[in-house]
Amino acid sequence: MTLCPFVLSFWHQVVISLPLFVLIILGYSLIRFAKWPTAFTDGVSRFVFSVALPAMLFRMMSDFSKRPPVDARLLIAFFGSCLIVFVIGRIVARKVFDLDGFSGSVFALSGIFSNNVMLGLPLATTILGEEAVPSVALVLVLVFNGLILWTLVTVSVEWARNGSLSLQGFGKTAVGVLKNPLIIGILSGTLFSLTGFSLPDFVDQPVGMLSQAAVPLSLISLGIGLAEYRVRDGWQISAVVCVLKLLVQPLVIWGLAVMLGLPEMETRVVVLLDSMAVGVNLYLMSRQFNVLGGPIAASLLLSTALAALTTPLMGVSL
């Protein structure tokens, strides 16, 4: 009886994933076959990280104060699991791969940052039904995910760069965090939402256009990166990232949800969303900090392929 839902979910995930791979192949072909200069990669990555993604985050946060309240147990389960797996990732990065603070932060984030925008919500709807994705889950995935997780890794990276147990060290870390374009987008959008106003059309429309460009340009940039890196050199890191993302995090959030007494449907939703493949925006962060570009690019492709099996399996077995 579980075979049909699994097969349907698997096929649906494959169909949803195809546009992602088309854009990745396009980026790969521009460098490998069309011989575009590799400097193009840095320009695209910088534009997405410094302009398109901040615009998307600003727009998502601009009406934050008008959104419905979120069940505190959902937040605790979701971000509690993120924090636990992030700490596990930092420990593994240090003890197993001997990575520094920069690389370790990006490695740890790869174990908790899901591709929920393009895959998570459509699959949750397909596997669990329309009632599985209430507005509270939408807020949880699209708003709090960007706010907390980008802030978490930015603080971690800036602490690795400037941190020390002194007032000056904390000050340098705080300044570094506040100068990050993603954090600027999040905070400015949140502050605007507190005014109670809506974005005027002449602002909302161009910001919306920039937001729509963020994901496809990120995927093209990923494809370009695959043409530049020898991704097989970091296959061990990619494999561990997939284990953290596709197995460890869903199990951790399931345990927390059970402990907190979350209703069955909410539990299934958050576990399913946490079982998604690694989010493509993580690759841009690896390029921004110039660490783990090849392994992160490979982990995106590998986790997307593996999630086509593991995510539907979780959806029918929960």
Give the pLDDT confidence of 177-188 residue by residue, as tens digits: 677 787 788 788
Q: Residue 276 carries which DSSP code?
A: S
| H or E stretch at 318 | none
**Chain segment 23-64, per-residue pLDDT in tens:** 878 888 888 888 887 677 777 778 887 888 788 878 877 876
pLDDT value at residue 96:
92
pLDDT value at residue 35:
81
Q: Residue 38 carries which DSSP code?
A: T
pLDDT value at residue 89:
92
What are 70's two structure tokens?
A: 């979120």
Residue with tokens 């690795």: 160
What are 231's two structure tokens?
A: 């991704």
pLDDT value at residue 95:
93
pLDDT value at residue 230:
66
pLDDT value at residue 304:
78
pLDDT value at residue 176:
65
pLDDT value at residue 97:
92
| Residue type at 115 in one-letter notation | N
pLDDT value at residue 135:
40
HSE-CB at 6 with a 13 A cutoff on CA atoms is: 11
Q: How far is Cα 160 from Cα 179, in angstroms, rounded to an integer?
A: 16
Query: Cβ–Cβ contacts within 10 Å for residue 222, how many?
Result: 27
Q: How open is the CA angle 220-226-228, to the nearest 5 degrees?
A: 110
pLDDT value at residue 19:
78
| Residue type at 301 in one-letter notation | L
pLDDT value at residue 139:
47
pLDDT tens over the chain, length 318 residues:
445 666 666 676 667 667 777 887 888 888 888 888 767 777 777 888 788 878 887 887 787 666 666 677 877 888 888 889 989 999 999 999 998 877 888 898 888 887 665 555 555 555 555 554 444 455 455 555 666 666 776 777 767 766 654 556 566 656 666 777 877 887 888 889 888 888 888 988 999 898 888 778 877 877 777 777 666 767 889 999 999 999 999 899 889 988 998 887 778 777 877 788 887 777 777 877 778 878 888 888 888 778 777 776 765 555
What are 260's two structure tokens?
A: 């907190």
Query: Cβ–Cβ contacts within 10 Å for residue 258, how many?
Result: 11
